[in-house]
A and B are shown apart, each in its own frame.
Chain A
């Protein structure tokens, strides 16, 4: 049975993260990696990266990486607690805003806020990408894969799933080399 202390720690961490994750889960990946790998030492860096990769192969919003991480640490209870903690605080806020929506007047405010959020989001995504790359890449081949992916993704509209599958294949081949 899952340790209640662990469940509480997960709930508090994700509950707080929920209200900070503007623009989605990806900006929070750096924080999550630090929490799971460095602070709590529940996972190694490589395993964190592998769980992230696994969550990418599933359909749906990529917030479900939280479900997987919680499950890995504390089973089904951990998955449930983590997912609900990550979703509910922000969901409540969004619901309240949705109830008071008076769309026309808010457009200026929304545009200004979005413009102000974007630079920070870009920086946080860059940092998360770098942290994740450091966790995933154990040698030159990993870094090459990361950089090639970035270039390909930027230059053409390749579906991410193809790239991920190619990465899996490349990993397999590199592993046997």
Chain B
């Protein structure tokens, strides 16, 4: 498949952005690997890993990396811009509607229910990841520490990461040496 230029990157990532309700990554995978065949699965997984260890939303980082690979900084800007411009406009339109109709008690009631569900979804994603840590008690303890540090002690994000990520690296290196 011919390498995409900035224009193609913009259009295709715009499609990904518009299809991604509750998470764009599956759509990004489908588009990049299966439909457009710009990347093979192995490359996609590698780039996704890099996107995850850098700050920023995973799918946004992925767009930047893929865009850069194919078309330099223009590609990066096109991919990210494509991904976000329509969702931003839509969310602002929703905000305007909320400002207009938000005073009605039914709207509050419905949104409140949706917010409760949203919190539940967040908890589910956390618990699902927690399941993935099964058996590695050190990791589970670190997760609990992170949760308490932010929620109870009121630590800032960077402090939690600055303390716990090196701790995890050290722990993993230590246990790796013991088992290896």
Q: Which residues of A contact B (CB under 8 A)?
A: 16-31, 34, 46, 49-65, 67-68, 71-72, 76, 79, 83, 87, 89-91, 93-95, 97-99, 101, 103, 106-107, 110-133, 135-138, 142-143, 145-151, 153-154, 159-161, 163-164, 166-172, 174-176
Contact = CB atoms under 8 A, between A and B. Distances in A.
Contacts of A142: 112-113, 116
Contacts of A168: 110-111, 113-114, 117
Contacts of B179: none
A65 B115 CA distance: 13
A145 B143 contact: no
B55 A124 contact: no
A91 B64 contact: yes
A171 B111 contact: yes
**Residue of A52, A93, A171 with most partner-chain B CB within 10 A:** A171
B76 to A, nearest CB: 5
A120 B168 contact: yes
Interface string B132-158: 110000011011111111110010111
Interface residues of B, number: 93
A131 B129 contact: no
Contacts of B35: none
Interface string B92-114: 10110010001001101111111
Given A29-B122, A135-B115, A71 B160 contact: no
B55 A21 contact: yes
Given A54-B95, A87-B56, A159-B21, A125 B129 contact: yes
A149 B120 contact: yes
16 contacts: A22-B55, A24-B56, A50-B102, A59-B18, A60-B18, A60-B86, A87-B84, A91-B80, A116-B172, A117-B53, A122-B133, A123-B147, A136-B118, A149-B119, A171-B113, A172-B113
A94 B64 contact: yes
A92 to B, nearest CB: 9
Contacts of B112: 46, 49-50, 53, 136, 138, 142, 171, 175
B6 interface: no
B88 A83 contact: yes
Given A117-B52, A161-B21, A68 B121 contact: no
